[in-house]
Structure 1
Amino acid sequence: MTDPVIDLRLWRQFVAVAEVLHFGRAAAGLHMTQPPLTQGIAQLERLLGVKLFERTKRSVQLTAAGAALLPAARDLLARARALPAQARAAQAGEIGRLRLGFVSTIGFAQLPQWVRGFRARYPNVALELIEATGDVQLQALERGELDAGFMLHSPGFVPPGLQHLRVTREPLVLALPDPHPLAAAASPRLAQVLDQPLVIFPRRIVPSLHDAILGVYRAAGRAPLVAQEAIQMQTIVNLVSAGLGVAWVPESVRQFQRQGVVYRKVSAPRGNPVPGAETSLVWPQAGPGPAPALERFVAFVKAAGGAGPA
């Protein structure tokens, strides 16, 4: 049996009578005559299958069922009254939900500041943060499981089919085990680095940056000696600490203080410079523009220091 859908008008009539316990005064407050009000209450009781009022010629009292329903009915009407304002706020991007993917490097500094500031300005927008590598974010964006994501890539590259806002640009530095001979140099030379065992992320994670790093080796006529692959930057740094090799990492990874690891800028010849890295906020191009809450977030990040499209 399907439950009846009850008109809000009947609930307003019920609350009006329940609050004054008098049909005549309730009708006056509703700007209606008493007979339609009496009929409305009777209709509500029939739809619910319960008696809401005990009525005599001299008094009107709530039944136990009526008293139990009154708080919920008041709440229902209050939420109904709030809907127009909520609709306007949703259109303005002041309420809603944002599912944001992010790579670990943006989580070291900028992201916590942006999340804190955005939540303070738009407390009714729920931010759901999901740490994920670039390949996982792309799949989630395609499936509609993410609204936007912060993705790492080589300078000037953004996955096709996505709108983007560049938020960081930084050099790559070399992570070395503390006891490594090259750690004693303030700026080791590139030629000294290229023969070292390398710890690197798989190409599928950040293809453009992976290719840019290996391009440095190819330009010097070398083949990288890949000792180990790892997905997360923290894991890569931990493997460096264990002595498995050296690793090229964005400079922001310096903030991940791991005992036994040092970071050095590498001196490279002008014809074969060390590449940099960028992070962009990306979101699907579908539709005339981002959803209002996402549009607010994009504008907030841009004002907070996003560099704009690459």
Structure 2
Amino acid sequence: MDLRQLRHFVAVADTLHFGRAAERLGMTQPPLSQSILALERQLGGDLFVRSKRSVALTAFGRQWLEHVRPAVAAVAALPAIAERLRSGASGRLSLAFVSTADYSVLPTLVERYSSAFPEVELELVEATSDIQVEDLLNGRINAGILISTRSALPPALAYRPLLNEPLVAAVPESWIEEGRLATGGGTLRGDGWMAQPLIIFPARVAPDFHDLVMRFYRSRGHQPFIRQEAIQMQTIISLVSAGLGMALVPASLRHLARTGVRYLPLAGAPELETGLAWHERDDSPTLAAFLALASPSSRA
């Protein structure tokens, strides 16, 4: 049994006429009749009842047609499916992201990609930068939006910057009300705030982010008093809300409103880079299409 025989069967079943079926298939009637006879011998039962004036499906033929028709249609659709997969118009893409990206580049990027490629199954995975690097190397994800680690990325990974944004201070609102911080014009003034307890990402999770904050303090002659470390930005902001300390966070985190937290600009604030990483050997068409849409964003 081959696909050609199945197509012959469907054509005769649709027309119930060997002559018209042969015309539809672009062949002569004798080889079509021989093909159906060979198929019936192979199946061990008649598919059609034939007379000089009519052709009709047998009960067996009617029931088998219910299985053959979708199978033939599925095979006919394979070239178009292959083209959509080859072009990246369908398939699967696994994208990881750090929690900070949820308030900056991720929503726009996902909306843009999903609108352009609605047939692609997009898997979104929240993960810290260190986990993303491991998952990229092991092929568990196709791409990752992470805090810039370009200096520490393995050679096998490619990298593209997406966003540069200044750090701002997330501080307990109670500290401002108590006069614990010197503010003016909605900005932290002086360096006195640097003596306050700090909540920060661990160095192992986001080394570039951690180093950026540490260098900023040291450039002004201060050593931060790290009160607490947390690996999720939402957790850091919750700890600030609880008054356990302050945090330096990307400016886009101002979109994360939390009772008891104020976001204040910093004079001379350093900028944090968020970028896209992927494995250079990943030849997934969906990844290629995603990279074509993932362009750098403007400053937050």
Q: What TM-score does the superposition give when structure 2 sets the normalisation length?
A: 0.85
Deviating runs (4+, > 6 A) in structure 1?
A: none
C-alpha contact 1:158 1:164 (8 A) present in aligned 2:
no
Q: Please provide the CA RMSD for this pair.
A: 2.6
Amino acid at match of 2:253: V
Q: Is structure 2 residue 10 aligned with structure 1 residue 15? A: yes
Deviates more, 1:81-90 or 1:201-210: 81-90
C-alpha contact 2:182 2:189 (8 A) present in aligned 1:
no
1-structure distance, mates of 2:49, 2:204: 72
Q: 1:299 to 1:260 in 2, by over 3 A?
A: same
Deviations 1:273-304 (A, max 9, x none): x43211111111116xx5332222222222xx
Amino acid at match of 1:301: A
Aligned to 2:258: 258
Q: 1:104 to 1:51 in 2, by over 3 A?
A: farther
Aligned to 1:299: 292
Deviations 1:100-139 (A, max 9, x none): 1112222224322222222222223332222221122112
Q: Percent identity?
A: 46
Aligned to 1:242: 242
1-structure distance, mates of 2:6, 2:33: 13
Q: 1:252 to 1:42 in 2, by over 3 A?
A: same
C-alpha contact 2:105 2:297 (8 A) present in aligned 1:
no
For 1:91, which of 82, 86, 90 is the aligned residue?
A: 86
SS in 2 for 1:286: coil
Number of residue-to-residue matches in the alignment: 292
1-structure distance, mates of 2:182, 2:38: 84
C-alpha contact 2:89 2:120 (8 A) present in aligned 1:
yes
Deviation, 1:237, is: 0.2
2-structure distance, mates of 1:117, 1:71: 41
2-structure distance, mates of 1:65, 1:232: 63
Deviations 1:239-271 (A, max 9, x none): 110111111111111100011000112235xxx
1-structure distance, mates of 2:182, 2:233: 20
Q: 1:144 to 1:33 in 2, by over 3 A?
A: same
Q: 1:214 to 1:48 in 2, by over 3 A?
A: farther
Amino acid at match of 2:194: L
Amino acid at match of 1:202: P
1-structure distance, mates of 2:247, 2:173: 13
Q: 1:134 to 1:95 in 2, by over 3 A?
A: same
Deviates more, 1:217-226 or 1:118-127: 217-226
User: Any unmatched runs of 5+ in structure 1?
Assistant: 1-5, 269-273
User: Any unmatched runs of 5+ in structure 2?
Assistant: none
C-alpha contact 1:165 1:306 (8 A) present in aligned 2:
no
C-alpha contact 1:141 1:284 (8 A) present in aligned 2:
yes
1-structure distance, mates of 2:47, 2:208: 68
Matches within 5 A, 1:67-82: 67-82=62-77
Deviates more, 1:131-140 or 1:116-125: 116-125
Amino acid at match of 1:63: T
Aligned to 1:202: 202
Deviation, 1:171, is: 0.8
C-alpha contact 1:178 1:262 (8 A) present in aligned 2:
yes
C-alpha contact 1:177 1:183 (8 A) present in aligned 2:
no
Deviates more, 1:45-54 or 1:212-221: 45-54
Aligned to 1:271: none
Aligned to 1:211: 211
SS in 1 for 2:238: helix
1-structure distance, mates of 2:152, 2:161: 9
Deviation, 1:233, is: 0.5
Deviates more, 1:115-124 or 1:26-35: 26-35
C-alpha contact 2:187 2:264 (8 A) present in aligned 1:
yes
Aligned to 2:167: 172
Aligned to 2:277: 282
